Amino acid sequence: MTTTARHIQAYLLLLPAFVLLVSFTHFPAVASLIESFLSTPKGSRPARFVGLENYRIMIEDPVFWQAMSNNFWFAAITIPASIAISISMAIWVNDKIAGKQFLRMSYFLPTVMPMIAVANIWIFFYTPDYGLINQVLQALGFPGQNFLGDSSLALWSITVVAIWKEAGFFMIFYLAALQTLSPSYREAAQIEGASKWYYFRKIQWPLLMPTTVFVLVNALINAFRMVDHIFVMTNGGPNNASTLLLFYLYEVGFKYWDRGYASALTIVLLLILAVIGLLQFFLLDKRTHYK
Amino acid sequence: MSTFTTISAGSNSSRLDQRSWLETTAAWVLGLLWILPLLYAMWAAFHPAAFATRFDITAPLTMDNFLAAWQAAPFPIYYVNTVLLVTIILFTQLVLCTLAAYAFARYEFFGRNVLFSLVLVQLMVMPEILIVRNYQTLSALGLVDTLVGIGLPYFASAFAIFLLRQTFKTIPQELVEAAQMEGASTLQILRHVYIPLAKPTYLAFALVSISHHWNNFLWPLVVSNSVESRPLTVGLQVFSSSDQGIDWSIITAATLLTAAPLLIGFLIFQRQFVQSFMRAGIK
């Protein structure tokens, strides 16, 4: 076959996937940027160029800043907590431990359940008075709490659910990495009489670094797209106390139908993801120096 | 003192193998906490409403909550929708992404690296971030409120292309040359050499894709607005958020109905699930 024919064949193989990929990823990203400079078309009034107006609205919008700060705290807690828990889980079920099969199943279970479904169950744990957590609190003599209705607790309550949902998923990546570690490290540590903590800190943790980078990037992305449970549990309330960026974007786009402003919010999310992308590039790049 | 020496000297296992009771307890506490929501849901769903928050071992078992949920909302239709949706998405993904991955793995062409980076962009920018603009595209195409519309943005999966490309690259060139000697065309080689050898990757991707789309919510919520196109997750949300004072037990029953097929599949094929997710995670 001639080279030209092979070239054409390659492009033909790529064509169907690329048409869809460009239509639903690259085109909408660029279109959102353009539309963020336009007003929202209303009735007979078409969209017109408004410059940075949508961004000015954003800067003056307290709900946007609330969503940003919520999302920051949501990420700041969910990510380290789920990474720490997932490493412990992976180390436990990778070793000999009583009930290993059950533990592995239990840890992984949340991953295969729909967030929307588990959120329904969690609501009940959080319900005032007769919810499970409150029953326990009251039995121990503590006052009951309205976890989802109290604006100082709502964000933390949905954060806990996110950690519970994610840890088992990340455990899988650590488990896979642990299984590829050469047993000779372990033997060497054994001969040296190293403690478990020492072995973890000096051997497992550094060797798991590439996995941690991978998990970290995934956790960062997830922190900006995990919003399903908010629909069920708090609807962003009370008083936007548990609104995250993507949830707010949904509200602006599909409840208030403010397309211009929603496009500007989309651009903010895209910028955040771009920063995460650069971070990944930088971290992965650094990692290769070790090899 | 003497006991300590005998233990450390007499046992073959080193300090690394010793498991303190603290660690085992912690592992179990976590394990129980992680399964607690499911256990609780089962308790509430299989018992009469009066026992939803009262944990009494003598409480009678019942299937009424499931029956009530099944009849209170069009769950049978939602089920069909989800199964169709997941099937359409998986089938299209496998076809489109196999072709694209094959081109990336085995063809030299102008702009290959640039095009591949364009694919990878989707790993960062998932379709749910672009809901506002993608919804406009769907309305322009007249696909709002259809199952195809819900699936469309996911048909070309960067993840599948990436995964299959990696697998295709490991397939030995000798096998390809042998097939070429026998006069196989490029597509025949794909069909008879590459695809059969990539089976574990296909299985891994299929399980990941099925669990992802069975559970997906935000985009289907935006696109579907009638019973005919609503998948289970959106149906459950509509059902449980309607202010008709539905029984807690019925909601948990509906919740379990939504998760059941994946859950049961996972419990039966646990090993395959875990290994598939592992395989998909190792690049």
pLDDT tens readout for residues B233-242 = 999 998 887 7
Q: Cβ of B137 and A28 within 8 Å?
A: yes
- Please tell me the predicted confidence (pLDDT) of residue A1: 59
Q: Cβ of B128 and A246 within 8 Å?
A: yes
CA neighbours within 13 Å on the CB side: how many for A74? Answer: 30
- Please tell me the predicted confidence (pLDDT) of residue B208: 87
Q: What is the mean pLDDT of residues A116-144?
A: 84
Label residue B244 by pLDDT band (50, 70, 90).
Answer: low
In a domain, B13, yes or no: no
Q: Hunting for tokens 């199952």 — which residue is that?
A: B147
Q: Hunting for tokens 């070793």 — which residue is that?
A: A95
CA B228 from centroid of its chain's CA atoms: 23
Q: Which residue of A has its CA nearest to B16?
A: A196
DSSP string, B149-169: HHHGGGSS-HHHHHHHHHHHH
Query: Hey, what amino acid is at B266?
Result: F
Q: What is the mean pLDDT of residues A113-129?
A: 88
How do residues B36-56 score in pLDDT, each as one tens digit?
989 988 888 888 877 777 777
In degrees rounded to 5, what are phi and psi of residue A42? -130, 120
Q: Which residue of B has its CA nearest to A278?
A: B124
- 10 Å CB burial of residue A203 (0-12, 13-18, 19+) is middle
CA distance B245 to chain A (A): 14
Q: At CB < 8 A and 24+ separation, what contacts does B46-53 make?
A: B47/B249, B48/B249, B49/B247, B49/B248, B49/B249, B49/B250, B52/B247, B52/B248, B52/B249, B52/B252, B53/A130, B53/A131, B53/A132, B53/A135
- Please tell me the predicted confidence (pLDDT) of residue A286: 57
Please count the other Cβ atoms lying within 10 Å of the Cβ belonging to residue A188: 13
Q: Cβ of A120 and B252 within 8 Å?
A: yes
Which token pair is A5? 């024919």
In a domain, B142, yes or no: yes
In a domain, B97, yes or no: yes
- 10 Å CB burial of residue A3 (0-12, 13-18, 19+) is exposed
In a domain, B50, yes or no: no
CA distance A79 to chain B (A): 17
Q: Would you say the ipTM is above 0.90?
A: no
Q: Hunting for tokens 């660029």 — which residue is that?
A: A30
In a domain, B80, yes or no: yes
Q: What angle do CA A12, B202, B207 make, to 5 degrees?
A: 125
- Furthest-apart CA atoms within chain A: distance in Å: 82
CA distance A60 to chain B (A): 22
Count of structural domains within chain B: 1
Q: Which domain holds residue B198?
A: 68-281
Q: Are A176 and A208 in contact (CB under 8 A)?
A: no
Q: Cβ of A113 and B263 within 8 Å?
A: yes
Q: Cβ of B126 and A189 within 8 Å?
A: no
- The pTM score is 0.89
How do residues A10-54 score in pLDDT, each as one tens digit?
999 999 999 999 999 999 999 999 999 988 888 778 888 888 889
In degrees rounded to 5, what are phi and psi of residue B58? -90, 0
Q: Cβ of B211 and A108 within 8 Å?
A: no
Alpha helices in A127-256 (DSSP H): 132-139, 154-180, 183-192, 196-199, 205-207, 209-223, 228-233, 245-254
How do residues B53-79 score in pLDDT, each as one tens digit?
777 777 778 888 888 888 888 889 999
* Listed residue (A164, A89, A97, A101) closest to B270, CA to CA: A101
CA B27 from centroid of its chain's CA atoms: 25
Point out the residue among A95, A114, A125 whose CB comes nearest to the CB of B259. Answer: A114
Q: Cβ of A266 and B129 within 8 Å?
A: yes
Contacts of B26 (CB under 8 A, 6+ apart): A88
In a domain, B135, yes or no: yes
Q: Cβ of A175 and B119 within 8 Å?
A: no
Cis previous bond, B220, omega within 30: no
Please count the other Cβ atoms lying within 10 Å of the Cβ belonging to residue A116: 26
- CA-to-CA dists, residue B19 to A89, A186, A196, B6, B13, angstroms: 14, 15, 9, 17, 11
How far apart are alpha carbons B151 and B137 in whole angstroms?
A: 13
Q: Cβ of B27 and A249 within 8 Å?
A: no
In a domain, B75, yes or no: yes
- Please tell me the predicted confidence (pLDDT) of residue B175: 87
Q: Is residue A38 classed as helix, strand or coil in its secondary structure?
A: strand
- Please tell me the predicted confidence (pLDDT) of residue A134: 83
How far apart are alpha carbons B8 and B18 in whole angstroms?
A: 10
Q: Which residue of B has its CA nearest to A96?
A: B17
- Please tell me the predicted confidence (pLDDT) of residue B245: 62
Which chain B residues are Cβ-neighbours of A108 within 8 angstroms? 266, 270, 273-274, 277
How far apart are alpha carbons B251 and A201 in whole angstroms?
A: 45
CB pairs under 8 A between A and B: 283
Q: Cβ of A175 and B267 within 8 Å?
A: no
CATH number (1.10.3720.10, 3.40.50.300, 2.40.110.10, 1.10.10.10) of A63-117+159-290 reads 1.10.3720.10
Point out the residue among B31, B153, B237 whose CB comes nearest to the CB of A102. Answer: B31
- 10 Å CB burial of residue A285 (0-12, 13-18, 19+) is exposed
In a domain, B257, yes or no: yes
How do residues A67-114 score in pLDDT, each as one tens digit?
999 999 999 999 999 999 999 999 988 887 878 888 989 999 998 899
CA distance A273 to chain B (A): 6
Q: What is the mean pLDDT of residues B185-194?
A: 88
Could you tell me the CATH number of the domain that includes residue B76?
A: 1.10.3720.10
How does B262-274 read in b/e, with b if 16+ C-beta sit within 10 Å? bbebbeeebeebb
- Please tell me the predicted confidence (pLDDT) of residue B1: 39
Label residue B13 by pLDDT band (50, 70, 90).
Answer: low
Point out the residue among A93, A97, A225 whose CB comes nearest to the CB of B128. Answer: A225
In degrees rounded to 5, what are phi and psi of residue B157? -100, 120
How far apart are alpha carbons A78 and A66 in whole angstroms?
A: 18
Alpha helices in B190-246 (DSSP H): 195-197, 199-215, 218-223, 232-241
